[in-house]
């Protein structure tokens, strides 16, 4: 019985890496189908190398375009690869257009089941492309792997059958625990970036934050004010999408914020672990800062990771200055000492067990 992974972006490569490595360990035959949604080295090949993943057998090289064109091209390409590969199960992870395309292509093919890793997350904000993608993927998939009991309950409340659902924890815990020590041993990012005293870490790339000039400027201003009050320099490894808008809008980035290139996974883990505070609109970064006991403020109006807020690791502050400044003050006022709600770092094994690959 064989498995194909459809993946296409930075977070999918990182979060599927423990599952791919478990397949290697248990001798589960698998293939990797890369959609090519991300293609810049710094969002793509650097993670294959650093996480020691085999190069994908297929790369559809769809690149960047509108949602319909990008997703449509992927569906066509994935379908023809699946015709050839004929796996028993296709695994997708998360909420990107690559996930939607992989799910749609595979679900209509006879004899192929779909497994959705990180199922059941909801921001309840249907304006976000990711919310549409994750809902559609959950409702089409045969096997659902929610990270927590909260996400399982969400799936049940939408009428999805309990016997398709296995709570596994989030594979990001596996990825963090497998890499954080190595990161501290090997990375010299703090010295390279000259971060000798306390610093903050910023990531912002969501369409709703960076594609709108006014909102992006407001967000940067809020982070800069909080940084000034806390006497911190903030490093911002900038995603190419955001970088493009900084140039096109001609935004003057405040002096408190230092733009740097996107970091590889080990360097980024060290930055997250050592930062005084994390400012982010990323999904994965909310989880990782929670796992690493680094306080986080989320520069959005909602989150599909409410567990991080419930345990006290994260505050949803939006982008307005006063709210960002206040959120930072509050979360730094209570010491980081919370439970990790995302499982014990065995999610990858639990996913393969649920698919009955443990006896393979
Ligand atoms: C995508 C996902 C988002 C996820 C993010 C992870 C969707 C709808 N969005 O957003 O959920 O959080 O990946 O990082 O699937 N670009 C490059 N190099 C690349 C890829 C993109 O320069 O390798 C630039 C291009 O200008 C492109 C823009 O980034 O137009 C946006 O890329 P796209 O794949 O559409 O979405 P992301 O913002 O990366
Ligand atoms: N990440 C990284 N380098 C960076 C920024 C992020 O390696 O410069 C990693 C981070 O550790 C996390 C993932 O990328 O695992 C998050 O991806 P992203 O924020 O692009 O997407 P999201 O999680 O919001 O979908």
The pLDDT, as a whole number, for residue 1 is: 79
Task: Decide: 263 in ligand 2 pocket, CB within 6 A.
Answer: yes
For residue 63, give the ligand nearest its CA.
1
Task: Decide: 286 in ligand 1 pocket, CB within 6 A.
Answer: no
Active site residues: 205
**Ligand 2 center from residue 15 Cα (angstroms):** 10
**Ligand 2 center from residue 239 Cα (angstroms):** 9
Neighbours of 98 (CB within 10 A): 29
Task: Decide: 205 in ligand 1 pocket, CB within 6 A.
Answer: yes
Task: Classify the C-alpha dihedral 42-97-14-108 as positive or negative.
Answer: negative
**Ligand 1 center from residue 354 Cα (angstroms):** 31
User: Which residue has its alpha carbon closest to ligand 1 atom 27?
Assistant: 64
Task: Domain 3-170+343-354: give its CATH architecture.
Answer: 3-Layer(aba) Sandwich (3.40)
Q: Report the top-level CATH class of 188-333.
A: alpha beta
Ligand 1 pocket, mutate which of 6, 8, 15, 38 (most atoms under 8 A from CB): 38
Q: Do domains 3-170+343-354 and 188-333 have the same CATH topology?
A: yes
ipTM of the complex as predicted: 0.99
The pLDDT, as a whole number, for residue 240 is: 98
Domain ranges of the chain: 3-170+343-354, 188-333
Residues of the chain with pLDDT under 50: 360
Ligand 2 pocket, mutate which of 203, 259, 260, 269 (most atoms under 8 A from CB): 203
The pLDDT, as a whole number, for residue 359 is: 52
**Which two tokens mark 228?**
């000034």
């Amino acid at each position: 019985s064989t498995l194909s992974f459809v993946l296409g972006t930075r977070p999918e490569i990182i979060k599927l890496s423990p599952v791919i490595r478990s397949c290697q360990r248990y001798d589960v035959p698998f293939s990797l189908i890369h959609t090519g949604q991300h293609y810049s080295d710094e969002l793509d090949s650097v993670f294959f190398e650093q996480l020691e993943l085999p190069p994908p057998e297929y790369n559809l090289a769809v690149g960047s375009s509108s949602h319909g064109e990008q997703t449509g091209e992927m569906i066509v390409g994935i379908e023809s690869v699946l015709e050839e590969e004929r796996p028993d199960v296709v695994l997708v992870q998360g909420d990107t257009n690559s996930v939607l395309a992989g799910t749609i292509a595979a679900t209509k093919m006879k004899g192929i089941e779909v497994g959705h890793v990180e199922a059941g997350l909801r921001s309840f904000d249907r304006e976000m492309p990711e919310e549409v993608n994750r809902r559609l993927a959950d409702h089409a998939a045969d096997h659902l792997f929610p990270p927590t009991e909260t996400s399982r309950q969400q799936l049940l409340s939408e009428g999805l059958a309990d016997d398709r659902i296995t709570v596994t924890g989030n594979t990001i815990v596996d990825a963090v625990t497998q890499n954080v020590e190595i990161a501290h041993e090997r990375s010299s990012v703090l010295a390279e970036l000259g971060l000798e005293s306390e610093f903050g870490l910023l990531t912002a790339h969501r369409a709703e934050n960076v594609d709108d000039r006014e909102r992006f400027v407001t967000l940067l201003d809020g982070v800069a004010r909080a940084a000034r009050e806390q006497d911190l320099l903030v490093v911002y490894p900038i995603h190419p999408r955001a970088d493009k808008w900084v140039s096109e809008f001609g935004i003057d980035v405040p002096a408190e914020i230092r733009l740097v290139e996107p970091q590889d996974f080990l360097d980024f883990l060290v930055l997250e672990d050592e930062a005084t505070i994390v400012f982010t609109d990323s999904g994965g970064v909310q989880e990782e800062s929670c796992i690493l006991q680094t306080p986080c403020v989320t520069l959005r109006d909602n989150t599909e990771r409410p567990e991080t807020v419930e345990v006290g690791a994260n505050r949803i502050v939006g982008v307005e200055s006063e709210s960002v400044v206040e959120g930072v003050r509050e979360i730094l006022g209570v010491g980081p000492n919370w439970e990790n709600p995302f499982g014990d770092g065995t999610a990858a094994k639990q996913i393969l067990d649920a698919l009955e690959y443990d006896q393979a």
